[in-house]
Amino acid sequence: MNLSDRPALDQVLLNDWQHDFPLSRQPFAEIAQATGCDEATVLATYQRLIADGTISRIGGVWGAGAGGAAMLCALSIPPAQLQDVAQHVNAIAGVNHNYEREHRYNLWFVITGADRDSIHHEVDALDHLTGLRTLRLPMVRPYRIDLGFDLRKTALPTHPGERQAVRASRSATRRVQTHETALAALVEEGLPLVSRPYDAWADSLGWAPDRVQAVIQRWVAQGTLRRMGVVVRHHDLGISANAMTVLNVPDAEVDAAGARLAQQAGVTLCYRRERDADWSYNLYFMVHGHSREAVEHTIRQALAQADLTQHARETLFSGQRFKQTGGRYFRSQMPESRKDARHAQVA
């Protein structure tokens, strides 16, 4: 169901709290006050939106390198084998995104792990299993990585916090400290839908609630968390088309080019990656939209306004989604009292 077809409260709760989710003791009551309803209604609405799959969770999105390593990979697979190989990729615990794309390299996935060596070990095993050679494209520098959508316009939000997120993506991300990894696991899992969710986290950790809130605030301020808020499943809200455009930009120019692209309306992701022997591209950006034509228009406009039309490039539209989940770096650190927990039902 598109956003415009949903009740007015759904639209506000989906669109307006993807960033800067309240860190007060009663965040849902704060949202209720801002939206002119009551806390029970806000909780019940979020419960329904999670249950029907519109929202995956209310939680944090990590900055690059905050909890380990990640790598974009690609395979060129004969069409008859695509489904089988995709399932092998899905079986790797660290894989959180796995997409078909319209290209000779037709399967693209993101794999996370504790460090780069562990990721390469997993990909080595995949290559051995499939008899294929995986393109390995580690990130060099993020310019914009934030799949928070302005669902009414499908464009870059422009409030001050969002511009701060763009700036933060250009500096090195501070990693989660060892003594804080249990809280990080909870942030990945998502807030329990209760009146005082941060108190619930504090109870499971044996911390004071003020400490939980202070750590999350610090993570957001320093870029360890790129955002804290509602994580929507954009495909289920009508944003069903997306494409990755890759460019070959001289190394001396790529940072300036990436910075310009990151500011263009409609660009949801933008980053520099290492080249591969069989892949000359080093600058990537993503555009999401309601239709293929809208995405193509946004790409043309972004390239023109960023003065990048002269560079060799390719655009790869997505096809089948084989897997799409949030990056999970800290699941092994989940407090024992929460390992089997699920989002609480609203009383």
Mean pLDDT of 293-302: 97
Please check the confidence at residue 271 and state whether its pLDDT lies above 90: yes
Q: What is the pLDDT of residue 146?
A: 62
Give the Cβ contact number of residue 344 at 10 Å: 14
DSSP state of 346: P
Q: Are strands 69-75 and 107-113 parallel, antiparallel or unpaired?
A: antiparallel
| Range picked from 26-35, 51-60, 222-231 for highest mean pLDDT | 26-35
pLDDT, averaged across the chain:
87
Q: What is the pLDDT of residue 148?
A: 56
Query: How does pLDDT run across 129-181, given as a tens digit for each residue?
Result: 999 999 999 999 999 876 555 554 544 343 333 444 344 344 456 889 999 99
CA-to-CA distance for 168 and 145, rounded, in angstroms? Answer: 10
DSSP per residue over 150-163, as a string?
A: -TTTSS---SHHHH
Residue 240: pLDDT band with limits 50, 70, 90: confident
Residue 301: pLDDT band with limits 50, 70, 90: very high
Distances in Å between the Cα of 344 and the Cα atoms of 164, 192, 338 are 33, 6, 12
CA-to-CA distance for 117 and 111, rounded, in angstroms? Answer: 12
Structure tokens at 173: 């991300």
Mean pLDDT of 53-81: 90
Query: Of 12-26, 81-95, 246-260, 332-346, which range is least confident?
Result: 332-346
CA-to-CA distance for 153 and 210, rounded, in angstroms? Answer: 36
Q: Are strands 107-113 and 95-101 parallel, antiparallel or unpaired?
A: antiparallel
Please check the confidence at residue 331 and state whether its pLDDT lies above 90: no
Identity of the residue numbered 208: A
Could you tell me which residues come within 8 angstroms of residue 133 by beta carbon, excluding any fewer than 6 positions away? Answer: 127, 278
Mean pLDDT of 261-268: 93
Q: Which domains does the chain have, with CATH numbers?
A: 3-65+150-234+329-338 (1.10.10.2890), 69-149+239-324 (3.30.70.3460)
Mean pLDDT of 295-321: 97
Nearest C-alpha neighbor of 262 from the set 243, 283, 291: 283
Q: What is the pLDDT of residue 180?
A: 94
Mean pLDDT of 188-196: 95
Distances in Å between the Cα of 258 and the Cα atoms of 85, 98, 240, 303, 306 are 33, 24, 25, 11, 9
**Greater model confidence, 121 or 240:** 121
Query: Of 147-156, 231-240, 298-307, which range is least confident?
Result: 147-156
Q: What is the pLDDT of residue 92?
A: 95
Structure tokens at 168: 């933060």
Is residue 68 packed enough to be buried (19+ CB in 10 Å), middle (13-18) or exposed (0-12)? buried
Residue 337: pLDDT band with limits 50, 70, 90: low
Query: Of 40-54, 181-195, 223-237, which range is least confident?
Result: 223-237
**Greater model confidence, 339 or 313:** 313
